[in-house]
Structure 1
Amino acid sequence: MIKRITLVAMCLGLFLAQTDTTAVNLALPSIGRDLRGSLADLQWVMDAYNVTFAALLLTGGTLGDRFGRRRLFRCGIATFAAGSALCAAAPGLAALVTGRALQGAGAALTIPQSLAILSVVFPQGRERDRAMAAWSAVTGIALASGPILGGLLVQVTGWQAIFWLNLPIGAAALALSMAVPESAGRQARRVDVGGQVLAIAFLTALTYAIVETGRSGWASPRVAVATAIGVACLAAFVAVERRPGPMLPLGLLRRGPLPIAAVVALCMTFGAYGELLLAGLVLQRHAGALVAGFQLLPQPLMIMAGSPVAGRLATRFGPRRPMTAGMTLLGAGLLTLAVAGADAPVPVVELGFAVTGLGIGFNAGPVMGVAVSAVPPDRAGLAGGVANLARMAGVGFGVAVMGAVFAGHGYRAALLAGTAVVALGAAAAWRVPRAQRRNAAATETAGFDELEPSNSTEKARSSR
Structure 2
Amino acid sequence: MPTPPPAPTTRRWWVLTVLCLSVLLVSIDNTIVNVALPTLSRELSASTSDLQWVVDGYTLAFAALLLLGGALGDRFGRRRVLQAGLLGFALTSALASMAASTDQLIAGRAAMGVAAAAIYPATLALLVTTFTDRRERATALGVWSAVTGLSVAIGPVTGGLLLEHFAWGSVFLVNLPIAAVALVAGRLLVPESRSARAHGFDLGGAAASVLGIGLLVWTTIEAPGHGWGSATTLGGYAAAVLVLAAFVARELRTPEPLLDVRLFRDPRVSVGSGAIALAFFSLFGFIFMITQYFQSVRGYGTLTAGVATLPFATVIAVTAPLAIVAMRAVGTKLVVAAGLATMAAGFVVATGTTLESAYWGRIVLAMVLMAAGLGLVTSPATEAVMGALRGDQAGAGSAVNDTVREVGGTLGVAVVGSVLSTVYGPAVVDGLTAAGAPAQAAEGAADSVFAGLAVAGQVPGNATEAVRQAFLDGVSAGSWVCAVASAVGAVVVLAFLPARHRLPEPTAEPVPAPA
The residue type paired with residue 256 of structure 1 is P
Alignment match of 2:321 (pick from 273, 286, 308): 308
Paired residue for 1:293, among 306, 322, 343? 306
- Please say if 1:226 is aligned against 2:236: yes
Matches within 5 A, 1:127-142: 135=144, 138-139=147-148, 142=151
- Structure 1 residues 342 and 193, CA gap change in structure 2 (3 angstroms): farther
Look up the SS of the partner of 2:28 in the other structure. Answer: helix
Which amino acid is the alignment partner of residue 269 of structure 1? Answer: F
C-alpha distance in structure 1 between counterparts of 2:141 and 2:508, whole Å: 13
Match of 1:113 among 122, 132, 142: 122
Per-residue deviation, 1:7: 5.2
* CA distance in structure 2 between the aligned counterparts of 1:59 and 1:24, rounded to whole angstroms: 25
1:115 CA drift (Å): 3.7
Q: Tell me if 1:257 matches 2:321.
A: no
**1:458 shift after superposition:** 8.3
- 1:340 alignment partner, SS class: coil
Q: Residue 57 of structure 2 corresponds to which residue in structure 1? A: 48
Distance change (3 Å), C-alpha of 1:133 and 1:206: closer
User: By how many angstroms is 1:141 displaced?
Assistant: 5.0
Aligned to 1:453: none
Residue of 145, 155, 175 corresponding to 2:164: 155
1:37-68, Cα deviation, whole Å (9 max, x unpaired): 11111111111111211111122121112112
Letter of the structure 2 residue corresponding to residue 275 of structure 1: F
The Cα offsets for residues 5-51 of structure 1, whole Å up to 9 and x where unpaired, read as 75554343222112222211111111111111111111111111112
Cα distance in 1 for residues equivalent to 2:340 and 2:26? 25
Taking the aligned partners of 2:244 and 2:42, their CA distance within structure 1 comes to: 36
Work out which of the residue numbers 283, 289, 299 in structure 1 matches 2:294: 283
Other structure's SS at 2:352 match: helix
- The change in CA–CA distance for 1:342 and 1:22 in structure 2 (over 3 A counts) is farther
Give the superposition deviation at 1:204: 0.8
C-alpha contact (below 8 Å) 2:70/2:121 kept by paired residues: yes
If the length of structure 1 is used for normalisation, what is the TM-score?
0.88
Change (3 A) 1:232 1:138: closer
Percent of matched pairs sharing the same residue:
34
The Cα shift of 1:138 comes to 4.1
Q: Does 1:415 align with 2:479?
A: yes
C-alpha displacement of 1:461: 4.6
The one of 319, 337, 342 equivalent to 1:324 is: 337
Separation of aligned partners in 2, 1:4 and 1:107: 23
Contact 2:150 2:312 in 1 (8 A): no
Residue 271 of structure 1 is matched in structure 2 by 282
Cα distance 1:437–1:68, how it changes in 2: closer, same or farther (>3 A)? closer
User: Shift of residue 79 of structure 1?
Assistant: 1.8
Structure-2-length-normalised TM-score: 0.79
The alpha carbon displacement at 1:88 in A equals 0.6
Once structures 1 and 2 are overlaid, which stretch shifts more, 427-436 or 193-202?
Answer: 427-436
Are the aligned partners of 1:119 and 1:458 in contact in 2 as well (CA < 8 Å)? no
Moved more, 91-100 or 11-20: 11-20
Question: Partner of 1:337 in structure 2?
Answer: 350
Conservation of the 8 A alpha-carbon contact between 1:30 and 1:159: yes
* Aligned positions, number: 446
1:21 maps to a residue whose letter is: N
Which has the higher Rg, Structure 1 or Structure 2? 2
User: 1 CA distance for matches of 2:336 and 2:144?
Assistant: 23
Distance 1:458 1:59, change over 3 A: farther
Give structure 1 stretches of 5+ with no counterpart.
443-456
In the TM superposition, residue 221 of structure 1 has moved relative to its aligned partner by 3.9
9-18 or 232-241, larger mean C-alpha shift: 9-18
